[in-house]
């Protein structure tokens, strides 16, 4: 179940299923895909994209509340009050849903993608997947690119990206 309580200690998504439905409604590139998912599938994608967004970068400032589960909202001084969740964070999460869906396929794992080559050496398998033919321009038009996500969270980025 989605808990999108701002600064909540049990929150697991920035966006509710209803908000996501509204965001993707009428989207010619991803809307049908999203609407066809069950509520349980939508919750899975929202929770996964939240975890990924929280892990993608080192964010400046600190969590608004000491016990909040998620990285956002953030504050920049100990005296700052009235902190809210910026809409760009929600948009970044939803663009990450599109990106993850494109990269991982319907089930959320790499087995949905076309395998181009399999090499086996000393009992270890190396699988090479077919590259997507999306150019950056096409990705921006369709949504769901890392550059779109990064541009949305840019105000909260430090000087370096976390490599995991």
pLDDT of residue 18: 97
pLDDT of residue 101: 84
b/e sequence 107-125, b meaning 16+ C-beta within 10 Å: eeeeeeeeeeeeeeeeeee
**Structure tokens, 146:** 């890392």
pLDDT tens string 26-35: 888 888 999 9
Which regions in the chain score pLDDT beneath 70?
105-118, 122-123, 127-143, 159-164
Q: Which of 11, 1, 9, 10 is nearest to 89 (CA)?
A: 11
pLDDT of residue 71: 95
What's the number of CA atoms in the CB half-sphere (13 Å) around residue 149?
Answer: 21
CB atoms within 10 A of CB 61: 17
| H or E element, residue 121 | strand 115-121
Please give the Cα distance from 62 to 141 (Å, whole number). 33
Q: What is the mean pLDDT of the chain?
A: 81
pLDDT tens string 77-113: 777 777 889 999 999 999 999 988 877 766 555 444 4
């Amino acid at each position: 179940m989605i808990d999108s309580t701002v600064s909540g200690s049990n929150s697991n998504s920035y966006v509710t299923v209803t908000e996501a439905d509204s965001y993707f409604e009428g989207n010619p590139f991803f809307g049908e895909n999203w609407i066809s998912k069950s509520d349980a599938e939508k919750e899975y994608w929202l929770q996964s994209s939240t975890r990924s967004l929280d892990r993608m970068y080192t964010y400046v400032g600190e969590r608004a509340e000491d016990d909040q589960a998620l990285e956002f909202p953030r504050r920049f001084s100990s005296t700052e009050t009235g902190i809210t969740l910026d809409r760009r964070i929600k948009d970044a999460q939803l663009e990450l849903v599109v990106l993850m869906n494109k990269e991982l396929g319907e089930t959320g794992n790499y087995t949905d993608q076309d395998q181009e080559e399999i090499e086996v050496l000393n009992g270890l398998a190396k699988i090479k997947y077919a590259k997507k033919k999306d150019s950056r321009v096409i990705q921006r038009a369709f949504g769901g690119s890392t550059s779109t996500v990064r541009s949305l969270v840019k105000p909260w980025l430090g000087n370096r990206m976390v490599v995991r």
